[in-house]
A and B are shown apart, each in its own frame.
Chain A
Amino acid sequence: MAYVCRTIGGMRGRTRRVWEYERCINTLIMEIKVLFFGVLTDVTGTIIKNYRDVKSIADLKLRIQDDYPGVVHYSFRISLNNVLIDSDRLLNDGDEIALMPPFAGG
């Protein structure tokens, strides 16, 4: 998805232009970090991937499935900023999401 910064008709003054510019930049840099663990590192071929313009966990799942169709064959839990979650959540810039297959410590 492309974002376009443009001057809104009738707006004047440096403060308003700066505000508009910063709003656009903030939207553009919305980025989250996704960590893969266990067997998912083999499936995806990576341990970390950054995603931009992802609104929610449900949205992210679809994006990951597009990039790595093989993940649908594996069960995993999801954590958001180090806390396990079991329902959809909205995402914010800088969030860290981990996809975690069943644990195998010990």
Chain B
Amino acid sequence: MVTNYLINGPVTLSVISLYIEKISEKTDSGGHSVFLGQVRADKINEKKVMAIEYSAYEVMVRAEADKIKEAVLSEFSDTKSVDIVHSTGIVKAGEISLFVLVSAGHREQAIQACAKTVELIKEKLPVWKKELFDDDSHEWRQNH
């Protein structure tokens, strides 16, 4: 269940489907842009990433995600809606940890606004990730 932009565990196909189904109600939109963030099975110093454990400052995520939506809707005037779902807890390699859906009157702003939303999420959302390796060690990562 998605609560205040967050879901415990991976963003599943059923969750994504719910958002895609609602597209039919958005009759003022002519284009939708989707971003899916996926956990990579990186190899670091001969160790393989098996999963990422996400943690979040939930109260602040809600406030910051609200601000991100407002900023994007304000900057891209043709944008009709912005949906964000981010994982907390453990997400295995290959699974989805971030879902963004932006709907706009036309494709250009749908694509641009979606890209901007993802960048703001990386910069502003109080979320942290811990890479879990196949030798049971872990390492905290930060965005570049």
Contacts and interface: CB of A to CB of B under 8 A. Distances in A.
A1 interface: no
Given A37-B126, A106-B118, A106-B122, A101 B140 contact: yes
B22 interface: no
Interface in B16-58: 37, 54-57
A100 interface: yes
B86 interface: yes
Given A38-B128, A103-B128, A105-B98, A79 B60 contact: yes
Interface of A: 35, 37-39, 41-42, 79, 82, 98, 100-106
Interface residues of B, number: 26
B3 interface: no
A105 B125 CA distance: 6
Residue picked from B55, B59, B60, B122, most chain A C-beta under 10 Å: B60
- State the majority secondary structure of interface residues on A: loop
Contacts of B86: 105-106
Contacts of B56: 105
B140 A82 contact: no
B121 interface: yes
A104 B141 CA distance: 7
B122 A98 contact: no
A106 B97 contact: yes
B127 interface: yes
Contacts of A101: 128, 140, 142
Contacts of B37: 106
A79 B126 CA distance: 11
A98 to B, nearest CB: 6
A35 B122 CA distance: 21
Contacts of B122: 103, 105-106
